[in-house]
Structure 1
Amino acid sequence: MRIVNVLPQLQLSEEGVFVGNENNLISLRQGDVDGACGPYSLLMALITQNVLSREEVTDLSEQDGRTRLGKFWNNLYAFDTMVRDGTFDHDLSWLSETFKNHPNGKVFAKDLESSNTRGKVTEIAEAIDNGDPVIVGLDWQGGGAHWAVAVGYEAFDEQVTKIMLLDPGFSAPNISYWNAVLSVAKDDGELQEAGRLSCLHWAQGRSASTKCKLSECLQITVN
């Protein structure tokens, strides 16, 4: 039997995917010329976990450096203006520490333990079942890398076949809980593709899939 599970706190309206109330939309879109997919993904994960609201994140007039969010924005200055060189998993963990003592709980960015694709996929599904989004790193065919947020998965007879993503590189969805898909395995359990680039990524508005490798992954928990 084929099943699809998404984070239990997610809801969907004609405006998009939200948490709590319909104005608290999760999806954020990065600029066309920046490399800030990592910080965008972290912010989406924090909205999902009720650590931040969309209003807080998008109100650029409220950047008091004494607040947690203000310190987050200030910490982004450690990178170049457009974050052109991108971010690594340790950068996102460092940025998340701004919220480690949040009133709603201690925020922790946990590196997944598995080093191979099958193990990571299993851990991602377990995290989603527990209500935790996972920031996933993707290494592209031909070079370059990207970050997105895993918010769901598809499984066939207990074999996880696809990871459902909120991807900051594409338009926000309003007819599903995700705007991109990472195909990781076939129904028979074989990896989707042979070789190092064993996954396929496709997204809303893109006409073709792209081979990629599932790399670093950060589970965002609030305790």
Structure 2
Amino acid sequence: MHIIEPLSVVHFSPYNPELSMHLRQGDLDGACSLYAVVTALILLGKVDLFEVKYGHRFDGRTRFGKLLSWWNRSDLLLREGQEIHVVEHALHSSYGKELSVELQNFCHLDPKFLIDTLKSNAPILLAYTAVENFAHMTCAVGFCETDSSVDILCLDPSFASPVLCCWNEVIRIPKAKRTLARSFASGHKLQTISAIALKRFNSSDPLSLAS
């Protein structure tokens, strides 16, 4: 075995031992919203997972192609990423005839809205800002409720893929007022949370992975 110098076996940067050399989505870009949206569309059967991973070109005349064209025109490599109302507009423009796109902002966001949406087997795009001057978007795929809080289970592109479960991030939303929500994967305390619920108009249609 040989590992190039000056990289160490523990994968830490030789120039800053506190930082990992493993770069992930979010380290250089603000594309978290794109990853979250595509994850949700795959779960809704509107996008083919194999094509997303291994396809080289997407037809710009299709709904997904139009959505990607919009993202290609935006500045994803800027750390600011995309605000949730802009993502809502892009989804309305591309998938508005096939999907219900419902935005709930942080002023009115109720955990019941999240619970009811997830119970209907609809994914949620969850956007938040943190106390530490950090903003992010992820895809919520489930929940776990207790007497004191609601844990929103997410598939997040910024963290390692899940191995033994279907999620790799938990957003804990306390039921007590004036208590900040928290991201377990990053440790951030969240100031604001907004959500976009994506639902098929005909909820009785079986889910598929083909568009």
Shorter-chain-normalised TM-score: which range?
0.7 to 0.9
Q: Which has the larger radius of gyration?
A: 2
Task: Rate the CA distance shift 1:140–1:113 in 2: closer, same or farther, 3 A.
Answer: closer
Task: Rate the CA distance shift 1:114–1:76 in 2: closer, same or farther, 3 A.
Answer: closer
Q: What is the TM-score of this pair, normalised by structure 1? A: 0.71
CA contact (8 A) 1:35 1:83 kept: yes
Task: Rate the CA distance shift 1:72–1:174 in 2: closer, same or farther, 3 A.
Answer: same
Picking from 70, 81, 84, the partner of 1:75 is: 70
Could you say which residue in structure 1 is the equivalent of 2:166?
Answer: 177
CA contact (8 A) 1:89 1:216 kept: yes
Could you say which residue in structure 1 is the equivalent of 2:195?
Answer: 217
Is 2:102 the counterpart of 1:110? yes
Tell me the amino acid that sits aligned with residue 46 of structure 2: V
Picking from 37, 40, 47, the partner of 2:42 is: 47
Could you say which residue in structure 1 is the equivalent of 2:181?
Answer: 199
Q: What is the TM-score of this pair, normalised by structure 2? A: 0.75
Could you say which residue in structure 2 is the equivalent of 1:98?
Answer: 94
1:215 counterpart SS class: strand
Is 2:81 the counterpart of 1:86? yes
Deviation at 1:60, TM superposition (A): 4.2
Tell me the amino acid that sits aligned with residue 54 of structure 1: L
Could you say which residue in structure 2 is the equivalent of 1:23?
Answer: none
CA contact (8 A) 1:184 1:200 kept: yes
CA contact (8 A) 2:132 2:188 kept: no
Task: Rate the CA distance shift 1:63–1:179 in 2: closer, same or farther, 3 A.
Answer: same
Structure that is richer in strand per residue: 1
Deviation at 1:35, TM superposition (A): 0.3
Q: Identify the range of structure 1 (53-62 vs 170-179) with the bigger mean alpha-carbon deviation.
A: 53-62
Picking from 144, 155, 158, the partner of 1:166 is: 155
Q: RMSD across aligned C-alpha pairs, in angstroms?
A: 2.2
Is 2:102 the counterpart of 1:124? no
Picking from 31, 40, 44, the partner of 1:36 is: 31
Number of equivalent positions: 177
Post-superposition CA distance 1:24-64 (Å, at most 9, x none): xxxxx735311011111111111111111211222341222
Q: Provide the rounded CA distance (Å) in 2 between the counterparts of 1:90 and 1:190.
A: 27
Could you say which residue in structure 1 is the equivalent of 2:139?
Answer: 149
Q: Provide the rounded CA distance (Å) in 1 between the counterparts of 2:90 and 2:121.
A: 21
Q: Provide the rounded CA distance (Å) in 2 between the counterparts of 1:215 and 1:83.
A: 21
Unaligned runs of 5+ residues in structure 1 are 1-28
Could you say which residue in structure 2 is the equivalent of 1:190?
Answer: 176
Picking from 126, 129, 149, the partner of 1:136 is: 126
Tell me the amino acid that sits aligned with residue 64 of structure 1: D
CA contact (8 A) 1:136 1:214 kept: no
Task: Rate the CA distance shift 1:122–1:70 in 2: closer, same or farther, 3 A.
Answer: same
Could you say which residue in structure 2 is the equivalent of 1:13?
Answer: none
